Amino acid sequence: MQDAFDPTIIIFAVLALFVLYKLRSVLGARSDIDRRPPQPATRRAGDAPTAANDSNIIRLPNAGGTAAQPRPAPTPADRWLAVAGEKAWPGLDAIAAADGSFSGTSFISGAVAAYEMIVLAFAKGDVATLRNLLEKDVFDSFEGSIKARAAAGQKLETTFVSMDKATIDDAALRGPSAQISVRFLSKIISATRDASDNVIEGSAERTIDMVDLWTFARPVSSRDPNWKLIATETAH
């Protein structure tokens, strides 16, 4: 007895042919893509890198194919803005041209250290330290004040509290000498006592704000790297 004809066989056969047709069309489309030359990955400016297009890319200098742009030469603002006002820029440029080792930031650091040393040495009457830091005319003035204080039996007590700001106010190359003026904003406690230890000037407790304009000089051709104080002024 022959088996009855099952119509589902025809249905499955039609479905199989349809599936094979779709697979062939899809695979054929993929093979066309595979035959295309590789396209460079692109990303708009500002897009975040993604694993698909950036994670394995090593970018070479000037990889975009555009000509490299030359870096602009440093301007005075780039070189001196952190340590000096605009008035001082031409003078600092002249000093740096005459002395290739000159550094604005190093100079300011040294000037701040010298300021504190000079203030404290003057209070203590330490003329040996002052002699190494001051030009002769300034040293003579400081030494005269120290001698007058001692002759009167007075004593100056000074505590250096803080250096709030130090900036180059002006600069110039005057012949072989580099001269730089620095404006110091500091806080100190200062009191003058008489022979009986009474405070006759200043305060032993109150902090005062100091604004000083000091000028330092150094021959640019000298092997001695030290600057000396050549002028002092109480600024406002």
Among 141, 162, 145, 160, CA closest to 231: 141
Q: Is 67 exposed, middle or buried (0-12, 13-18, 19+ CB in 10 A)?
A: exposed
Q: Is 130 exposed, middle or buried (0-12, 13-18, 19+ CB in 10 A)?
A: buried
Each of the 236 residues of the chain gets a pLDDT tens digit; together they read 445 555 555 555 555 555 444 444 433 433 333 333 333 333 344 444 444 444 433 333 333 444 445 555 555 557 898 899 999 999 999 999 999 999 999 999 999 999 999 999 999 999 999 999 999 999 999 999 999 999 999 999 999 999 999 999 999 999 999 999 999 999 999 999 999 999 999 999 999 999 999 999 999 999 888 999 999 998 76
- Whether 217 and 179 have beta carbons less than 8 Å apart is answered as yes
- The domain 80-234 having CATH identifier 3.10.450.240: the answer here is yes
Residue tagged 């340590």 (tokens): 83
Distance of CA 210 to the CA centre of its chain: 25
CA atoms within 13 A of residue 90's CA, in its CB half-sphere: 2
The pLDDT assigned to 70 comes to 53
